[in-house]
Structure 1
């Protein structure tokens, strides 16, 4: 029994010794540290255009409601509804018969008044000569003078009446006060209209140029002015450029200029109105359309843009990013994010010239870890990686596949 026990112990020792010899090379191979592969982008300061994206509505530059200034029967309508008209075009014609008669009567009255002036003048001249010879009384001379003055006043009155008749006759042709697009007519031929009626016959809107009225919060205005005062933002003066995004998401091809901002803030909502003017040759913009206006407020010089896919948040909710140091180690930094610019964040501090920020492989690294780096660039318009460097060429085939999933995870974490 003792012999069997000793033999078993010896056998177990031999097996253990052989197993240790076999595992020693494996342990030595497993002791090698495999560096993670990451893609990083080198950051450089640049001048960044700071914009404000504001909601707005389109409004016509000029609006004119067409109303008659004399009463009568509409004899003709001389425009096509929805067409373009020019200032001075005859839109409607009112039956001019009665106004023509009044005009002719005023002409005759003027001629009669003018005919009395020479007779009164001759009578005064004759009385003046006789009065010098004491052949007539001074009263007769004074009466002749008064008659001449009255005749001249009658002429002036007749001229005014003639001008009034001419104006009323001209008003029978209702003309376009401005150039623009005319709306539908509210009356038809044969309708009776009256002077200065409340119902407009039609409306004309000038669509080129056209206005865009947007609203901006007073908080953003104060933040903008503070940035200018602190020197973080340089304005472009009065020449402020504005771009439009239409309701369907497309960009309007023409750029506009900022005209003015109201000097008062609405008490109920804390906003103020800002107006911009745009050229509208193709009549794409119509009054009442909803748009989003992108106003260039200024330029932030020597600023850094960090791709949004490179920024996450820590447990405190602070925005962080991973950087690769000169010795190839990961550094985690807390950033000061000011605002979003396209698919990037405008960072106030925490970055220096030439710093390399990790844009792919964030989930596989930690602070202080050594990594292999492939330098890439990020397209700010799409947020995708492109132009891999020579050291990262082996990963270029995998970039497009990784872009979708990695970008979605990182962007969501920045909200």
Structure 2
């Protein structure tokens, strides 16, 4: 007889699967994409040497294209809407070192590419395994956010989608490390502009957009842009479900449905910062989990297999209060680069939104972030979406669908140079 815990896990799995399918298929009759796109669809993806970085990076600047290839996305709508390339490009890691990142560039068919705005879309959590790589998900037709990309393509926007750092055979992804996410998203846009076949303009108006991990990437890109990529004509940022303060996001996850995401974040920080030595505090079970996740773990596996398990099951002692860890997650906290009254790092209008009840990304820390930005003078619009009564995990995913119309209007207004109406 199934236990109460087993029944709860089963309901949670079904709720997530249905929510992912609903997000992807909400416009299915119009889009012509009748298949649910989940991370499990990646299981059949073969090895691919395209993702192996060169032994020595070629000389160049962040955003320079190292290699590219034309691809056909795995579902009919993006195939019909856009010409699509996978690219490998130079970027900058969390320690300021040059490295290679991959991405997908989608350019609407027809018209003049040089006149198209560009949206850098930060994908949400896919998982640590190579098979979960966002560009591979797009190629397979398994990216659960593909419907959002399709909506932007329909509006005539080119879209650049980074894979973030470390997606390659033998992956070393730096999940939730903002100092890596921001440059990866910025440089995906630069790579799209520098890809000759795409025909996009170096002077194109640009926006950053994303949800969850991708919402964090969008705001990190915004904080980096003025110093790191001042040549970009950045018009605005749309960021939802933002994990701005890693510690405040991590603590409520421990032993709860999203505990697999906490464990993955620790893996990501460890990959970005070698001095953390996560392996030194892992027990046998923890080492087995890391190997399992990096071999085959995508988002659903992190929930199905590792939800509701405490960190103490995998470590001999918690690393969360160790000084090196504190230093690294503190420097990867959004909004800490400024003091009130200083010139804000983000100089363009921002639309930030969040669920009122969010089992994955603690809503109070997002509310605190928007208030910090307001105090710094960022022209920000803040909105919450009531998810009271929704199952865990699906409450986190709901706003990406609920906010899409407003997000699209916000982008259109920024690209049309209409004045923003911040509500700080």
TM over 0.5: no
TM-score where L is the length of structure 2: 0.17
| Larger gyration radius, structure 1 or structure 2 | 1
Give TM-score, length-normalised by structure 1: 0.17
Whose strand proportion is higher, 1 or 2? 1
